[in-house]
Amino acid sequence: MTIWRSKSRRPLAASCRVLAIAVAVSFASGAGLHADPTVKPKLGPHAITIQQSHDYLRKNLAPDYWALSPFYVPQMSASACSLATVTTLVNALRGLPPLSADELVTQAALLQAVRNEAWASQTAPNGDGVTFEEFSSYVALSLQAYQIDAEVEVFKPVDSSPATLASLRKILTENEQSDDDIVLIHYNQGVITGDWDGPHLSPVGAYDSDARRVLIMDVDRQFYIPYWTSDEKLLEALLRPVPADRGRRAGETGGIVRVTLRGGRVNRDLTSSIGGGRRPQ
Ligand SMILES: [Ca+2]
């Protein structure tokens, strides 16, 4: 008898993901281990890690990447991708506070500042996650809680037409010019990673318009590091409806929330030397 342990994931009613440990027992004799159909490569053919591909970040300013990456946090529960995404956003827009006693924003501190019971419940362990509309409202509430003067815009694609893809590329290209704006995506993670088929949220770290690739700072850091995917695949991931077994979010499609500072950065002096500012023309 051979016993082996494998890691697998199963969806938890519309939350970002959950880890389950599966123990399988084989009674096969003489044949050794059978291939486990749940075993997949870390990333499928539609994603490549930041470690495998970083030329773009070496040769371009990539201001959003440098604004986000110092503050890039892992979601604190399986359903807290929205919370981790907004926490990273708020820190990135604020920059490093000037005084030694100043704290960075944590996911717990953000929940406390926003004081929204629904969001706290939705992002708690075994929470059911947030809808795209709720996410947009929580972004606005979070900015308000930290007195960040910014505009929140929403892009919700309805098809994969050339015109829609062109609109997505325009948003990503404009966003890449400055760290005064940050793009957040509500997408199906599995379309890109080849694994868990469900709704997820993360910030966009960079856009290589020549290669037409998007760097996703996946906050699901229990399983992933940042990865690139094509803008066409991202559009597919934005458009994939939430599977039918995911409760109140079933059937929902994703989109983009773009947050743009109105008055510039408060702590610009502490962030400008690490790549903030506009890309050379
Ligand atoms: Ca930007």
pLDDT in tens, 100-115: 999 999 999 999 999 9
Sign of CA pseudo-dihedral 128, 133, 134, 140:
positive
- Full strand arrangement of the beta sheet holding 199-208: 48-49, 227-230, 213-216, 199-208, 181-188, 255-261, 150-155
Asked whether residue 66 is assigned to any structural domain, the reply reads yes
What is the 9 CA–ligand 1 centroid distance (Å)?
Answer: 33
pLDDT tens digit string along 19-29? 433 333 333 33
Please check whether residue 153 lies inside any domain of the structure: yes
Q: What is the tally of structural domains in the chain? A: 1
| 253 CA distance to ligand 1 middle (Å) | 23
Is 80 part of any domain?
yes
Strand partners, 215: 206, 228
Q: What is the pTM of this model?
A: 0.86
* Residue 249 covered by a domain: yes
User: Residue 179 Cα, ligand 1 centroid: separation in angstroms?
Assistant: 4
Q: Report yes or no on 17 lying in a domain.
A: no
Which range of residues forms the domain containing residue 210? Answer: 48-274
Pick from 127, 160, 123, 141: nearest CA to 238: 160
State in Å: Cα 6 to ligand 1 middle. Answer: 40
In a domain, 139, yes or no: yes
Is the pLDDT at 280 greater than 80, yes or no?
Answer: no
Residue 219 in any domain: the answer is yes
Q: Report the pLDDT value the prediction gives residue 197, as an integer from 0 to 100.
A: 95
pLDDT at position 264 is: 74
**Which tens digit of pLDDT belongs to each residue from 34-55?**
567 778 999 999 999 999 999 9
User: What CATH number corresponds to the domain at position 62?
Assistant: 3.90.70.30
Ligand 1 is an ion; residues with CB less than 5 A from it: 64, 175, 181
- Ligand 1 centre to CA of 113 (Å) is 25
pLDDT of 266 reads 64
Q: Report the separation in Å between the CA atom of 72 and the middle of ligand 1, taken as the mean of its atom positions.
A: 15
More confident call, 258 vs 9: 258
Dist. CA 278 → ligand 1 center (Å): 9
For residues 133-155, give the mean pLDDT.
97
The residue-averaged pLDDT of 77-93 equals 98
Please give the distance, rounded to the nearest whole angstrom, from the Cα atom of residue 15 to the centre of ligand 1: 28
From the CA of 68, how far away is ligand 1's center (Å)?
10
Q: Cα(121) to centroid of ligand 1, in Å?
A: 30
Asked if the structure places residue 263 within a domain, the reply is: yes
